[in-house]
Amino acid sequence: MLLPFAQGSGWALDRYELTGARAIYGTVLKARITEGQTLLDLARKFGIGYNQITAANPSVDPWVPEPGIDVLIPKIVVLPRGLLPEGITINLAEMRLFFTKRGSGGRTLLYTCPIGIGRSGFSTKTGLYTVRSKAEDPTWYVPESIRRLEPDLPPVVPPGPDNPLGRYILRFSRHAYGIHGTNRPLGIGRRVSHGCIRCYPEDIEQLYPLVEVGSLINIVYEPIKAVYQDGSCWLQVFEDYENRLQDPFSAALMAVDQCRQEAALLGREGLKVDLRALKQTVSEHTGLPVAVTGAKGPES
């Protein structure tokens, strides 16, 4: 169930109430391109990243799409295996942040948004961290390592429109990383940073007050996810941009097999894998969840 965000922004964090063993939330929308509109404009409007909208619409020019055509808007998320029961989970391969928080009445709420991540050679190290500190209108003290690469940068960038940290930052306990806003929102859903996690300004503004100092952060790299829902195993594949998978097809097959075992424990035995659908999903890596054991679609 998608819950309305109290602050009412059309660009707000997506918020869901986690229920039972459900692992897929949201839906896939369609939007029509208007004159002069780019896929990046639509991505910002619907609160998704560049990687999501281009992967879901591989035949569409992201910068000069044909007016009048319909494109897919993947407002759908599959929970990562590494999801923390409480805290922030970041799936680098998906370029998405998940924040779980206990609500009233024993509910668990999930807040999620797209992110920009470290560019080649600056990938955020996976593992567990905590939120060391928080700051509004932060000053950026440019590390010497970055100034050596970009000597035109000043040693200090004060708060303001030229500050790449934006208006809010959640600092990590290690490696000088942080989750922060950006003055370049076109970088959301792309590999653009020096290892920090960038959010749309409207997303970090709403995430910032929700996250407490000391909260856990789990950084994972899961280009392949397989979950059981609505009578089928669903496979979601993103680009393995770090080439960590020696054999993506075998990795997907193993993930689906694990999903089938979990389904058997729930009383749904004998699910048969559609190998053609599995191969196509791995090859296309659109980020859209696909039923690879044959069943009805996931309910939004």
Domain ranges of the chain: 24-78, 87-100+113-220, 224-291
Q: Which of 113, 196, 233, 259 is catalytic?
A: 196
Q: Are 192 and 184 in contact (CB under 8 A)?
A: yes
* pLDDT score at 167: 96
* Contacts of the segment 290-297: beta carbons below 8 A, 24+ positions apart: 290/234, 290/235, 290/236, 291/232, 291/233, 291/234, 292/226, 292/232, 292/233, 292/234, 292/235, 292/256, 293/232, 293/233, 293/256, 293/260, 294/232, 295/230, 295/231, 295/232, 296/230, 296/231, 296/232, 297/230
Fold observed for domain 24-78: Membrane-bound Lytic Murein Transglycosylase D; Chain A (3.10.350)
Q: Are 114 and 52 in contact (CB under 8 A)?
A: yes
> Whole-prediction pTM value?
0.92
Give, for all 300 residues of the chain, the pLDDT tens digit.
344 333 334 447 999 999 988 999 999 999 999 999 999 999 999 999 999 999 999 999 999 999 999 999 999 999 999 999 999 999 999 999 999 999 888 899 999 999 999 998 889 999 999 999 999 999 988 888 888 888 888 888 899 998 999 999 999 998 889 999 999 999 999 999 988 999 999 999 999 999 999 999 999 999 999 999 999 999 999 999 999 999 999 999 999 999 999 999 988 888 999 999 999 999 999 999 999 996 444 443
87-100+113-220 and 24-78 share a CATH fold = no
Q: Which amino acid is at 55?
A: A
- Which CATH number does 87-100+113-220 carry? 2.40.440.10
Q: Which of 113, 180, 259, 285 is catalytic?
A: 180
* Cα 47 to Cα 189: distance, rounded to the nearest angstrom: 10
Chain segment 52-82, per-residue pLDDT in tens? 999 999 999 999 999 999 999 999 999 999 9
Q: Respond yes or no: is residue 233 known to be catalytic.
A: no
Q: Respond yes or no: is residue 175 known to be catalytic.
A: no
Phi-psi sector, 145: left (phi>0), alpha (psi -120 to 50), beta = alpha
